[in-house]
Amino acid sequence: MKDNFNFEVRNRNGEILEGFQKQDASLNFLYGSFYGRIILKLLTRPFVSKLVGSYMNSGRSRKMIKGFIDKQNIDMSQFEEREFNSYNDFFTRKVKPGKRPVDFNPDSFISPCDSKLSVYNIDGDSVFKIKDSIYSVFDILDGNPKAKEFFGGWCLIFRLAVDDYHRYCYFDDGTKEENFFIKGELHTVKPIALNGYNIYKRNCREYTFLKTDNFGEAVQIEVGAMMVGKIKNLHGKYKFKRGEEKGFFEFGGSTIILLIKKDVLKVDSDILGNTKNGIETAVKLGEKIGEKI
């Protein structure tokens, strides 16, 4: 596996935020070597992330906070001002009111989180391709027969890096069913893993069907990742409002996937163009990323 890789993230103005990068040496070893993959089998087990999560919830982990803020250049003026009891307490911090304005136009389709977004069409055979991995909506939903209702629709993948805001919201008004948890592994969601692992059908994840007022029935899937202790959804069956908090991830990178039915959504052209060219688009919670057809 190469030490460098082509990977690009752009903002909505077309400016490059991340480009050709030096691969993380530890991930290059884990995913690119025989002995690394042996170790990887252990590291991707949920009990390892639970052990790490226990430390991240302890007061001893507070010493990590300042270094992380400096390294990731996080603008803390956007977030609530208080003392944090642990690293996870810091990691799940909330933004100040008004720092993530929500587009309440009923025809606007909004991002449920801060992330790097890619959008794929689900063809008539239920599949779509990400990097070198082929996915099926049946795989992602663990064989749920309702997956066929999303053939021809859209699969929106919101990849949250460690420096992103890790709380997420509902993208429209509506009602939800109970959450379904799928036990699995916990691979990283960084691009290196996408080249050889079908991580979105292998990782631990939780999904629910949403009956929305303006975009019909949709599915939202929260995907855990390496060193993510927990997916924290706040509600079971529930009536929700656009922009209302749905839940949050604890420590680590993670992903949200939205499945939208055919002839419901028109995705913004810049996002579709970027995805076609292998570029992720940086989006913020509450901002418009498409519109109702």
Query: What are the sequence ranges of the domains in the chain?
Result: 1-293
Among residues 89, 114, 164, 172, which one is catalytic? 114
* Predicted confidence band of residue 233 (pLDDT cuts 50, 70, 90): very high
What is the predicted pLDDT for the residue at 197? 46
Measured distance CA(47)–CA(53) in Å, rounded: 10
Three-class DSSP category at 77: helix
* Predicted confidence band of residue 40 (pLDDT cuts 50, 70, 90): low
Measured distance CA(101)–CA(130) in Å, rounded: 30
Query: Residue 134 in contact with residue 127, Cβ under 8 Å?
Result: yes
What is the predicted pLDDT for the residue at 223? 85
DSSP H stretches of helix in 121-264: 137-140, 191-194, 199-202
Residue 261 has pLDDT above 70, yes or no: yes
Query: What does each C-alpha distance from 85 to 96, 167, 279 come to in angstroms?
Result: 19, 18, 37
What is the predicted pLDDT for the residue at 116? 93
Residue 77 catalytic?
no
Among residues 164, 172, 254, 268, which one is catalytic? 254
DSSP H stretches of helix in the chain: 25-32, 34-43, 46-56, 65-72, 87-91, 137-140, 191-194, 199-202, 269-276
Measured distance CA(46)–CA(187) in Å, rounded: 10
The percent helix, strand, coil of the chain (3-state, each to 5) is 25, 30, 40
pTM for the model stands at: 0.84
> What are the structure tokens assigned to 26, written together?
């530890």
What is the predicted pLDDT for the residue at 252? 65
**Rg of the chain over all Cα atoms, to the nearest angstrom:** 18
Of all helices (H) and strands (E), which one includes residue 266?
A: strand 265-267
Residue 118 catalytic?
no
Measured distance CA(270)–CA(11) in Å, rounded: 10
> pLDDT: is 27 or 243 the higher one?
243
Give the pLDDT confidence of 169-192 residue by residue, as tens digits: 999 999 999 999 887 654 444 544
Do the bridges between strand 180-182 and strand 245-249 make them parallel or antiparallel, or are there none, so unpaired? unpaired
Distance of CA 8 to the CA centre of its chain: 17
Query: What does each C-alpha distance from 53 to 26, 87, 90 come to in angstroms?
Result: 20, 10, 13
Closest CA to 64 of 91, 43, 92: 91
Averaged pLDDT, 217-222 = 96
